[in-house]
Protein backbone atom coordinates (compact mmCIF):
# COMPACT_ATOMS: atom_id res chain seq x y z
CA UNK A 1 0.00 0.00 0.00
CA UNK A 2 1.12 3.52 -0.69
CA UNK A 3 -0.36 5.11 2.42
CA UNK A 4 1.83 6.53 5.14
CA UNK A 5 -0.19 5.03 7.98
CA UNK A 6 -1.63 1.54 8.23
CA UNK A 7 -5.37 1.12 8.64
CA UNK A 8 -6.44 -0.01 12.10
CA UNK A 9 -9.86 -1.43 11.18
CA UNK A 10 -11.05 -3.94 8.65
CA UNK A 11 -14.43 -4.34 7.00
CA UNK A 12 -15.65 -7.82 6.08
CA UNK A 13 -16.82 -8.12 2.49
CA UNK A 14 -17.87 -11.28 0.66
CA UNK A 15 -16.24 -12.29 -2.60
CA UNK A 16 -16.55 -11.41 -5.46
CA UNK A 17 -17.50 -8.00 -4.02
CA UNK A 18 -14.14 -7.51 -2.27
CA UNK A 19 -12.43 -8.05 -5.63
CA UNK A 20 -14.80 -5.59 -7.33
CA UNK A 21 -13.89 -2.96 -4.71
CA UNK A 22 -10.16 -3.51 -5.35
CA UNK A 23 -10.72 -3.14 -9.09
CA UNK A 24 -12.55 0.16 -8.53
CA UNK A 25 -15.77 -1.25 -10.04
CA UNK A 26 -17.73 -1.25 -6.77
CA UNK A 27 -17.70 2.24 -5.25
CA UNK A 28 -20.42 1.75 -2.64
CA UNK A 29 -20.79 -0.89 0.06
CA UNK A 30 -24.35 -1.27 1.31
CA UNK A 31 -24.97 -2.00 4.99
CA UNK A 32 -27.90 -1.94 7.41
CA UNK A 33 -26.10 0.37 9.87
CA UNK A 34 -24.51 3.78 9.29
CA UNK A 35 -20.87 4.55 10.01
CA UNK A 36 -18.98 7.67 11.06
CA UNK A 37 -15.68 6.15 9.91
CA UNK A 38 -13.96 8.34 7.31
CA UNK A 39 -10.53 6.78 6.85
CA UNK A 40 -8.64 4.00 5.09
CA UNK A 41 -9.71 0.53 6.22
CA UNK A 42 -8.54 -2.96 5.34
CA UNK A 43 -10.77 -5.13 3.18
CA UNK A 44 -11.21 -8.61 4.62
CA UNK A 45 -12.50 -11.14 2.07
CA UNK A 46 -14.84 -13.15 4.28
CA UNK A 47 -14.89 -16.95 4.29
CA UNK A 48 -18.49 -17.04 3.06
CA UNK A 49 -18.74 -16.28 -0.68
CA UNK A 50 -21.43 -13.93 -1.96
CA UNK A 51 -22.09 -16.13 -4.99
CA UNK A 52 -20.49 -18.97 -6.94
CA UNK A 53 -17.89 -16.62 -8.48
CA UNK A 54 -16.60 -15.92 -4.97
CA UNK A 55 -15.55 -19.55 -4.54
CA UNK A 56 -12.60 -19.10 -6.93
CA UNK A 57 -11.26 -15.96 -5.21
CA UNK A 58 -9.15 -15.45 -2.07
CA UNK A 59 -11.26 -15.79 1.07
CA UNK A 60 -10.47 -15.54 4.77
CA UNK A 61 -7.70 -12.95 4.33
CA UNK A 62 -7.02 -9.22 4.18
CA UNK A 63 -6.75 -8.48 0.44
CA UNK A 64 -6.27 -4.70 0.36
CA UNK A 65 -7.59 -1.41 1.65
CA UNK A 66 -9.98 1.35 0.65
CA UNK A 67 -10.93 4.79 1.93
CA UNK A 68 -14.43 5.33 3.27
CA UNK A 69 -15.22 8.90 2.28
CA UNK A 70 -18.93 9.17 3.12
CA UNK A 71 -22.01 7.31 4.33
CA UNK A 72 -25.47 8.16 3.00
CA UNK A 73 -28.95 6.71 3.33
CA UNK A 74 -29.85 4.46 0.40
CA UNK A 75 -33.53 5.42 0.68
CA UNK A 76 -34.60 1.86 1.58
CA UNK A 77 -33.63 1.87 5.25
CA UNK A 78 -30.00 0.98 4.59
CA UNK A 79 -26.78 2.91 4.11
CA UNK A 80 -24.24 3.25 1.33
CA UNK A 81 -20.60 3.59 2.38
CA UNK A 82 -18.90 5.56 -0.39
CA UNK A 83 -15.49 4.09 -1.24
CA UNK A 84 -12.44 5.64 -2.91
CA UNK A 85 -8.81 4.89 -3.78
CA UNK A 86 -8.67 1.10 -3.37
CA UNK A 87 -5.23 -0.50 -2.96
CA UNK A 88 -4.48 -4.19 -3.34
CA UNK A 89 -1.96 -5.85 -1.04
CA UNK A 90 0.99 -7.52 -2.79
CA UNK A 91 -0.02 -10.72 -1.00
CA UNK A 92 -3.08 -11.40 1.15
CA UNK A 93 -2.59 -11.42 4.94
CA UNK A 94 -4.24 -13.65 7.50
CA UNK A 95 -5.64 -11.51 10.35
CA UNK A 96 -4.39 -12.34 13.84
CA UNK A 97 -7.71 -11.34 15.45
CA UNK A 98 -11.03 -13.07 14.81
CA UNK A 99 -12.99 -11.43 11.97
CA UNK A 100 -16.41 -9.97 12.77
CA UNK A 101 -19.43 -9.45 10.48
CA UNK A 102 -18.75 -5.76 9.84
CA UNK A 103 -15.82 -4.02 11.61
CA UNK A 104 -12.89 -5.53 13.45
CA UNK A 105 -9.25 -4.85 14.29
CA UNK A 106 -7.30 -7.44 12.32
CA UNK A 107 -3.89 -7.03 14.00
Task: Go through the chain and tell me how many residues it has.
Answer: 107
Compute the distance between CA of residue 51 and CA of residue 70 in angstroms, rounded to an integer: 27
Q: Which residue has the higher pLDDT, 90 or 2?
A: 90
Compute the distance between CA of residue 53 and CA of residue 50 in angstroms, rounded to an integer: 8
Compute the distance between CA of residue 95 and CA of residue 51 in angstroms, rounded to an integer: 23
- Give Cβ neighbours of residue 80 (< 8 Å, ≥ 6 apart): 28, 29, 30, 71, 72, 73, 74
Q: Residues 15-43: what's their mean pLDDT? A: 97
* pLDDT for residue 94 is more than 60: yes
User: In the chain, what are the domain boundaries?
Assistant: 10-89
The dotted CATH code for 10-89 is 2.30.130.30
**pLDDT-based confidence at residue 101 (cuts at 50, 70, 90):** confident
pTM over 0.75: yes
- pLDDT (0 to 100) of residue 4: 52
pLDDT tens string 32-90: 999 999 999 999 999 999 999 999 999 999 999 999 999 999 999 999 999 999 999 99
User: Nearest Cα to 83, choosing from 54, 43, 48?
Assistant: 43
Residue 21 backbone phi and psi in degrees, to 5: -65, -45
Amino acid sequence: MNTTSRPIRAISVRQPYAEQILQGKKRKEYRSVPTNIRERVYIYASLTPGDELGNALVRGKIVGSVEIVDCVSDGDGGYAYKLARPERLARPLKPSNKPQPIWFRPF
